[in-house]
A and B are shown apart, each in its own frame.
Chain A
């Protein structure tokens, strides 16, 4: 090979680097203008910091998973080629190149259990989908329609396990859904929630242990609240829900 052709190849390399840099800059620049990004995610009052990642199904223990994953992206590629797009590679330097389910709003995990079959190192345990534990979905009572005077069953209809996971506390203030600890954390309910930006958030089990008491106490408080107080709570919450809906609709248009 001649020196000239090598220089050509090298310049191609740098050109591709430059192009991707420009791409990324455009992406960052474009994101600034988007209003919905500035809205706090559901359950923001519990998780002020960035919460840890949701791993693909079959990864039970985070430490064990990190020790076994070699970042070969077989699972990610399989997920892409089957058309689910749920997995992507993590970009942080600590766990660089390991798979995460990062965009549940658009691409939730469908628990097809194909990624666990192809993992060559056994970082993803080969289990049935009943035994999966990716995390737990938490409903934000301030944003949920069912907790604020409406009857909405979208999340429970989307859930692949239905009645074994959802509990309903019907009252005058709506059907009031609650997700119990059998939840697998697949995130299908996150996608099908009609509230703008979703009222549900899937969190890691470690994160859940931290906020468990706070979350359950809020849940019990809401159930036992007197009529007059509950009216005030719902009245202020509905404004929030409507605002989120408006922002997301404007963006969609």
Chain B
């Protein structure tokens, strides 16, 4: 049995983000339903959650595998074996902020038509999924640093999740030094985002890359139906800000070179932009 998500559901992903953030924010007012940050948290003081990348970092920094680590990892693994990398599109607060920063530029629509026209006249698809070895390099660099210094560097210092939640959740007991530190880290992130859109999400952020590996085995995936109706408008590939290689997949499907009608890309965050943009509703997000 397979379930195709209605395209209306993708309109509500910001609602889910706000609801989850509110649950986290409640701890400021003394209601501890979920305590902690998105990196590591405790549900009702009993069930612990731990981000998979933090798990790897702690494993390498402390050089031992304890039962507590595994127990707090298991619920997260169970969630994302079903939903793949949808963490990035649905729960990461930075995704929304980056979208706002992108909408600042205003030139989006003009560029969109221009890029599509260019792609159509040259007969090729839009540049997608280039330099896929960079993220792996970044992840391994961070992990090597962790191993050498015996400190989970990314989770404690650089991570956007830690810094956002430090400012939002624990502001009542934050000393001035940490406030300035977190603020500066976030500000540099926003600057990077302004000049190089989605550079962070696509190439640097190791949290997303680790969730991306779940995409290979997750129940959720991109599915193509009635491919023969595709007119190659390139709208889906242009709207996709993670630059998933949609067009070449459709080309291969149409030419009959590829049998499987599903796409499991590491960089897909299941935000549903392609699903909503497609005029013939060829692309679907399906859950088996």
A residues neighboring B (CB under 8 Å):
1, 3, 6, 13, 17, 20-21, 24, 63-64, 66-74, 76-78, 80-81, 88-89, 91-93, 96-98, 114, 117-122, 126
Q: Contacts A67-B62, A120-B72, A121-B68; is A72 near B174 (CB within 8 Å)?
A: no
Q: Contacts A89-B170, A118-B48, A121-B54; is A78 near B104 (CB within 8 Å)?
A: no
30 A-B residue pairs with Cβ-Cβ distance under 8 Å, sorted by A, are A3-B104, A24-B176, A67-B58, A67-B63, A68-B58, A70-B156, A71-B155, A72-B36, A72-B41, A72-B155, A73-B166, A74-B35, A74-B40, A78-B35, A78-B45, A81-B27, A88-B173, A89-B173, A91-B177, A97-B178, A98-B156, A114-B45, A117-B46, A120-B40, A120-B48, A120-B50, A120-B72, A121-B40, A121-B54, A122-B67
Asked if residues B57 and A122 are in contact (CB atoms below 8 Å), the reply is no
Asked if residues B169 and A1 are in contact (CB atoms below 8 Å), the reply is no
Residues of chain A within 8 A (CB-CB) of B179 are 17, 20
Asked if residues A121 and B58 are in contact (CB atoms below 8 Å), the reply is yes
- Distance in angstroms between the alpha carbons of A58 and B51 in the assembled complex: 22
Is B175 among interface residues, defined by CB-CB distance under 8 A?
yes
B residues neighboring A (CB under 8 Å):
27, 30-32, 35-37, 39-42, 45-46, 48-50, 54, 57-58, 61-63, 66-69, 72, 100-101, 103-104, 106, 150-152, 155-157, 162, 165-166, 169-170, 172-181, 183
Most buried by B among A1, A21, A68, A78: A68
Q: What is the distance, in angstroms, from B81's C-beta to the closest C-beta of chain A?
A: 19
Asked if residues A72 and B40 are in contact (CB atoms below 8 Å), the reply is yes
Residues of chain B within 8 A (CB-CB) of A3 are 104, 106
Minimum CB distance partner of B103 in chain A? A1
- Distance in angstroms between the alpha carbons of A93 and B156 in the assembled complex: 11
Residues of chain A within 8 A (CB-CB) of B103 are 1
Instruction: List 9 tightest A-B contacts by C-beta distance, closest first.
Output: A122-B68, A74-B36, A72-B40, A91-B175, A118-B42, A70-B155, A120-B40, A120-B48, A67-B62
Minimum CB distance partner of B178 in chain A? A91
Asked if residues A70 and B176 are in contact (CB atoms below 8 Å), the reply is no
Residues of chain A within 8 A (CB-CB) of B180 are 17
Asked if residues B39 and A70 are in contact (CB atoms below 8 Å), the reply is yes
Q: What is the distance, in angstroms, from B78's C-beta to the closest C-beta of chain A?
A: 15
Q: Contacts A73-B166, A120-B40; is A96 near B178 (CB within 8 Å)?
A: yes
Residues of chain A within 8 A (CB-CB) of B40 are 70, 72, 74, 120-121
Minimum CB distance partner of B99 in chain A? A1
Asked if residues A66 and B170 are in contact (CB atoms below 8 Å), the reply is no
Q: Contacts A78-B42, A81-B27, A121-B72; is A73 near B150 (CB within 8 Å)?
A: no
Asked if residues B150 and A77 are in contact (CB atoms below 8 Å), the reply is no
Asked if residues A74 and B178 are in contact (CB atoms below 8 Å), the reply is no
Q: Contacts A117-B45, A120-B49; is A96 near B170 (CB within 8 Å)?
A: no
Minimum CB distance partner of B180 in chain A? A17
Q: What is the distance, in angstroms, from B172's C-beta to the closest C-beta of chain A?
A: 8
Q: What is the distance, in angstroms, from B35's C-beta to the closest C-beta of chain A?
A: 4
Minimum CB distance partner of B184 in chain A? A17
Residues of chain B within 8 A (CB-CB) of A88 are 173, 175
A70, A78, A91: the one within 8 Å of B58 (CB): A70
Asked if residues A67 and B42 are in contact (CB atoms below 8 Å), the reply is no
Asked if residues A70 and B54 are in contact (CB atoms below 8 Å), the reply is yes
Minimum CB distance partner of A5 in chain B? B100
- Distance in angstroms between the alpha carbons of A109 and B66 in the assembled complex: 26
Asked if residues A70 and B175 are in contact (CB atoms below 8 Å), the reply is no
Asked if residues B169 and A121 are in contact (CB atoms below 8 Å), the reply is no
Residues of chain A within 8 A (CB-CB) of B37 are 72-74
- Distance in angstroms between the alpha carbons of A67 and B58 in the assembled complex: 7
Minimum CB distance partner of A94 in chain B? B151
- Distance in angstroms between the alpha carbons of A21 and B177 in the assembled complex: 10
